[in-house]
Structure formats: C-alpha cells, structure tokens
Amino acid sequence: MQAKHTIGHLIDGQTVLTGERAQAVYNPATGVAEKRVLLADQQTVAAAVASAQAAFPAWRATPPLKRARVMSKLKQLLEEHADAICQLITAEHGKVLSDAMGELQRGIENIEYASYAPELLKGEHSKNAGPAIDSWSEMQPLGVVAGITPFNFPAMVPLWMWPLAIACGNTFVLKPSERDPSSTLLIAQLALQAGLPPGVLNVVNGDKEAVDALLMDKRVQAVSFVGSTPIAEYIYATGTAQGKRMQALGGAKNHAIVMPDADIGQAVSALMGAAYGSCGERCMAIPLLVAVGDATADALIEGLKMEIAKMQVGPGTDARSDMGPLVTRQHWEKVRGYVAQGVAEGATLLVDGRKVAPPKGYEDGYYLGPCLFDHVTPAMRIYQEEIFGPVLGVVRANSLQEAMDLIDAHEYGNGTCIFTRDGEAARYFTDSIQVGMVGVNVPLPVPVAYHSFGGWKRSLFGDLGAYGPDGVRFYTRRKTITQRWPSAGVREGAVFSFPSNQ
C-alpha cells in the first residue's frame, strides 16, 4: 500500500522511482501526510537531462504546426481530466476546488497560446538587404531548458513554461514544488498521451539538490523559475554565472489604490477576491489597499467588513467553503505570526481571522480566517514583507501622488491597480507607476496568455517576462542569415552544359 502513495519522477516517458531521500506530502485540510515524494539526486536529474538532450534533435526538426497540435490535443485532454487534476490540487495545496479550476483554466490558456506556434515563430525576412542580398532571422530553439515552480499554482505556473518552450522546439525538465507535485505530474502524463515523444518533457521531484543539479548541468541552456525573491536571486545569479539564459520571478506586495470617485461597491467586491482568494497565496494577490481620503477608507472598510462576515473557511473540497487552509503548518504559523506582529507594530486589527475555528472534523487542518488591518504604515513589517496569507492592510493617503510614491518606494514591483472613473487619473497612474502589471478597476491584472507576465524591480530577475511574446523570445535564440548567390551558374548556361555533364 505504501508503494501507491509514493510519487516518483517522469523521465524519458517512464515513471521512475529513484532517489534515496523522500519527503511527506500533507493534505492541508486534514493535516495528514497521505503520500510521500521522492527527492531526486544528481543522477536522477542527469538522467532527465540526458533524456531531454537525446530527444532534442528530432523535436527541433518537427514542424511547428505538428508541435502545436500536441498542445491542442493536450488542451482537450486537460478539459476531460479537469476534475481529477483539481482534486489533486486541492488535496495537496488546500485551495477550494473552484480556485483550482480557475488556475487550471489559466494554465490551459497558456497551452492555447503555445498552440499558436506557427504564427509565433515567424521570422523577419528582408529582400534586397543589399543588391541581390537577402537576410532573414530565424528564432531557433535553445535545446534543453528547465523550469522550477512553486507550490501555490501547481498546475498553472508549470503551464506558463513548458508548453511554450516545447512548442518552440525545446525539450524540457520540470522540477515542480515537492509540496504538491501530483497535479503537475498528471498533466505531464497527459502531455505524453497527447503525443509528446518520450524525453521531450521530463519531471523530476526534488529539493535544493535537484535545483542545483539543474543549475550546474552544462546541457541545460535556460532556466525559468518562479518563487520567492531570495531564492529567485540565488537561482538567477547561479544560472547566469553558468552561462545560462535565466529568468527568475520573485515576490510581490501589490497595492490597490482606491480613488474617491471609484465605484466603491465594485472595488470592495473586487478586493475581497484579490485579498483572500486562495488564502492570499498568490504573487498577484492584493495585501495592501491604499485609500485616497479618509472618507474613501471608511467606506471601503465598512464594505469589506460586511463581506468578510459572510465568508466561510473550510476544506477546499466543500463547495460551501470560500477559503481553504494554508499550505503547511509551518506557513500557518508564519502568517499568524505576522498578524501578531501587525498588532504589536500598532496597526488596528479590525478583523482577526485567528479566531476562526477549524470546521468540525478538520481540527488539524491549517485554517486561518480573513484578517483586516487599518492604519498600516510603511514602517511596519506587515507593510514591507510578503505575507502570502489572508491578511489585508489598509493604508490611508491624501492624494494619488502620495499613494503612488508609496508604491514606488517599495522593493517589489509586480502588480498594482487603481480604482477610479477618471481617464486622466488612470492614464497618469499607468504611465508613471514603477510596476510591471497594472490594473484599472481590475484588481489582479495578470496579463492574458497572449501578453506576458513580468514584474519590475525585485519581483523579476532577467530581461524577459514569462509566457506570451516574452516567453517566445526567452525560449528561442535569434539566428540571422545573410545570403547571396553567385551568378553565371545554372541560369545562363543551363541548356548546354548541364545535361551533358550528368
């Protein structure tokens, strides 16, 4: 019975159970460790890379249209297996099933984009760059590329990476989070079923040993990473020092500005989801609300409190739950600590989610109710640091400029948004703010799959964002060919010389 709960790797199209070390995988709704995952050692990683390397030449030469078709087929399979995938997400991550379905859907959008490969890989062709000289650019694949992904979106974030990388002609080694690897693996298996040749996509589970093995492997040409800023910085520095193409997405502390002319009801409704959805364990969550004017702040708080009062916290599998548990006990303790810290720092705790009792039968789950602070200030740790929990802080500002100065002074620059009806306020904000993804009356401005995801400042290390056009550029290398042909060849002399020579 133990065997069926052991999660292994997917290498060269086969499930592989190598690695001496393993780690428990918990269900956050119950606090029970129901499975264990093997942690890849260097040899296992090397085997995955070797498989990818071997699969590269044939995959690279496969026409983009054929590669794209595997993506279309995979989309179809994911739709058919959506329930099974979401059950795995909820069982290991804790989020409610509707959230799981939401993330899978965003992941599928990235597969759809990858299926545009024939269009996306068009190069530029210049006739007569010089007299009778033509020149064109080809966007060629890199070879073996790797992805290292976080626990909070076990389906979506890997799907930001490998479908596009593979559609561009690369082969891939994915190391998902060891906390919730099962949905990731199931999706990879469906990709094989959709027609990916063995070795084109490999999955290794593991921890820092596996990460370092990928970073040090000379055959790995590029690495995409999503996680916290300190790790992102380490990954980026280590990989670039190895001569690899790197992109490492880190943390966030996204502010929402609400202007006095905003539709307050719409803002409250939008912010509830942005602050507490998926327990705030999203790099595009809104943990800070900057109200311009005290009247605005008061109206927002009144609305938020009313909405919070209606929220249900419980296991993600229960359709009545609005919010599930946090991902691990350790993280649960850390978030509770931040709440205490906020109180200690002098912020006003209007709603204390720590008082929310776990649902009956789930007493060991990692539940925490929504928390709401007023009078948060930039000097506080709960302002400065990424909490990644259901904690929303209200900051009060006197003008749009003051609100924007706060944002620009923060070390992160991932996402932000403004609520207003005024065209000029929106234009000034979107133009000037030092943040990569900006919403206007849109609380979580995650770019759609055919644009690109990318924060600024310490939220992203690298030149190019994830997925979309930036993703295509990241997963391809430009080759420019300049061509002319010698004259006086077949054309002029054709009739007389050639037939007799052959």
Q: How far is the CB of 424 from its own copies (least distance, A)?
A: 4
Q: Annotated catalytic, 86?
A: no
Q: Which of 84, 133, 319, 357 binds its own copies (CB under 8 A)?
A: 133
Q: How far is CA 199 from the centre of its chain?
A: 23
Closest by Cα among 318, 304, 317, 306 to 276: 304
**Interface pick for its own copies out of 192, 463, 467, 471 (rule CB under 8 A):** 463
> By CB neighbour count within 10 A (0-12 exposed, 13-18 middle, 19+ buried), where does 63 fall?
exposed
Query: Quick one: 30 or 416, whose CB is closer to its own copies?
Result: 416
**Taking CB under 8 A as the rule, does residue 452 contact its own copies?**
yes
Asked whether the beta carbons of 376 and 253 are under 8 A apart, the reply is: no
User: Using CB under 8 A, which residues numbered 334 to 373 contact its own copies?
Assistant: none
Do residues 52 and 144 make contact, with C-beta atoms less than 8 angstroms apart? yes
Pick from 177, 142, 167: which is nearest to 72 by CA?
A: 167
Q: How far is CA 158 from CA 139, 172, 175, 451, in A?
A: 22, 11, 9, 17
Of the candidates 86, 283, 371, 417, the residue annotated as catalytic is 283
Number of residues that bind its own copies (CB under 8 A): 120
Residue 262 Cβ vs its own copies, minimum distance, rounded to whole Å: 7
DSSP state of 207: S
What are 431-439's contacts with CB under 8 Å, separation 24+? Answer: 432/404, 433/404, 433/407, 433/408, 434/407, 434/408, 435/407, 436/460, 436/465, 437/284, 439/415
User: Which residues in the 263-292 window bind its own copies by CB under 8 A?
Assistant: 263, 266, 292
In this chain, which of 225, 236, 412, 467 binds its own copies, going by CB under 8 A? 236
Site residues for its own copies, 380-439, by CB under 8 A, read: 398-401, 420-428, 430-431, 435-439
CB of 71 to its own copies, least distance (A): 10
Query: Which CB atom, from 35 or from 67, has the smaller least distance to its own copies?
Result: 67
What CA–CA distance (Å, rounded) separates 204 from 174?
Answer: 6
Nearest-approach distance from CB 85 to its own copies, in angstroms: 19
Tokens of 69: 């078709």
Helices (H), 242-285: 264-276
Residues 238-267 within binding reach of its own copies (CB under 8 A): 240-241, 243, 245, 259-263, 266
Nearest CB to its own copies, comparing residues 2 and 501: 501
What number of residues does the chain have? 502
Residue 90 and residue 317 in contact, taking contact as beta carbons nearer than 8 Å: yes
Interface with its own copies includes 480 (CB under 8 A)? yes
Residue 486 Cβ, how far from its own copies at the closest point, in Å? 4
- Site residues for its own copies, 35-94, by CB under 8 A, read 61-65, 68-69, 72, 75-76
User: From the list 129, 192, 311, 343, which residue makes contact with its own copies (rule: CB under 8 A)?
Assistant: 129
Tell me the C-alpha distance between 271 and 265, whole Å.
Answer: 10
- The candidate with the shortest Cα–Cα distance to 188, out of 107, 296, 120, is 107
Binding test (CB under 8 A) with its own copies, winner from 14, 24, 130, 354: 130
Smallest distance, its own copies to C-beta of residue 56, A: 12
d(CA 181, CA 185): 6
Residues 6+ apart with CB under 8 A from 122: none
DSSP for residue 313:
B
Interaction of residue 464 with its own copies, rule CB under 8 A: yes
In one-letter notation, the amino acid at residue 277 is G
Say whether residue 13 binds its own copies (CB under 8 A). Answer: no
If one asks whether residue 8 binds its own copies (CB under 8 A), the answer comes out as no
Smallest gap, in angstroms, from Cβ of residue 267 to its own copies? Answer: 9
230 in contact with its own copies (CB under 8 A): no
Residue choice 1, 2, 127, 409 for contact with its own copies (CB under 8 A): 127
> With binding defined as CB under 8 A, does residue 314 bind its own copies?
no
Which 97-126 residues touch its own copies, going by CB under 8 A?
Answer: 109, 112-113, 115-116, 118-126
> From the CB of 384, what's the least distance to its own copies, in Å?
18
Least separation in angstroms between residue 395's CB and its own copies is: 14
Q: Contact 275/254 with Cβ under 8 angstroms?
A: no
| Window 143-162: residues binding its own copies (CB under 8 A) | none
Site membership for its own copies, residue 481 (CB under 8 A): yes
- Residue 499 interacts with its own copies (CB under 8 A)? yes
Contacting residue, 32, 58, 295, 357, with its own copies by CB under 8 A:
295
Q: Quick one: which of 394, 396, 434, 401 has its CA closest to 416?
A: 434
Cα torsion 83, 85, 88, 93: sign: negative
Q: Tokens 């269009």 correspond to what residue?
A: 119
| 193 counts as binding its own copies under rule CB under 8 A | no
Q: Based on CB atoms, which residue is closest to its own copies, 20 or 424?
A: 424
Q: Which of 447, 459, 467, 471 binds its own copies (CB under 8 A)?
A: 447
Backbone angles phi, psi at 351, to 5 degrees: -130, 130
Q: Using the 8-state DSSP alphabet, how is residue 466 labeled? A: B
Give the amino acid at 461: F
323 three-state secondary structure: strand
Question: Catalytic positions, please?
Answer: 283
